[in-house]
């Protein structure tokens, strides 16, 4: 898979919370870091995503927000 996005993190799915339209997918990318992605249920089905499956999280964002209390 070739993409223009430089931020690609390999990991393993540890949880999928299915909703009516979207799913929350949690990916362990190592060293105790968990990445959470909100994707469509259609994508979950088309990609045949399941807990334990190895995936690549591709991050292409123009804005990243950071907040403090």
5-61 confidence digits (pLDDT tens): 788 999 999 999 999 999 999 999 999 999 999 999 999 999 999 999 999 999 887
Residue 9 CB partners (closer than 8 Å, separation 6+): 27, 29, 35, 56, 57, 59
Neighbours of 23 (CB within 10 A): 20
Residue 53 belongs to domain spanning? 7-59
Q: How far apart are the first and last CA of the chain?
A: 40
Look at the chain and report how many structural domains it folds into: 1
Confirm whether 45 is domain-assigned. Answer: yes
Q: Specify the pTM.
A: 0.85
Confirm whether 19 is domain-assigned. Answer: yes
Confirm whether 2 is domain-assigned. Answer: no
What's the CATH code of the domain at 48?
A: 2.40.50.100
Confirm whether 69 is domain-assigned. Answer: no
Angle value at C-alpha 42, between 57 and 8, nearest 5 degrees: 10
Q: What's the confidence (pLDDT) of residue 4?
A: 79
Q: What's the confidence (pLDDT) of residue 38?
A: 94
């Amino acid at each position: 898979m070739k993409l223009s996005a430089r931020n690609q993190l390999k990991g393993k799915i540890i949880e999928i919370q299915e909703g009516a339209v979207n799913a929350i997918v949690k990916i362990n990318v190592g060293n105790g870091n968990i990445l959470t992605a909100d994707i469509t249920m259609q994508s979950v089905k088309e990609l045949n995503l399941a807990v334990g499956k190895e995936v690549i999280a591709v991050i292409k964002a123009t804005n990243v927000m950071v907040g403090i209390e």
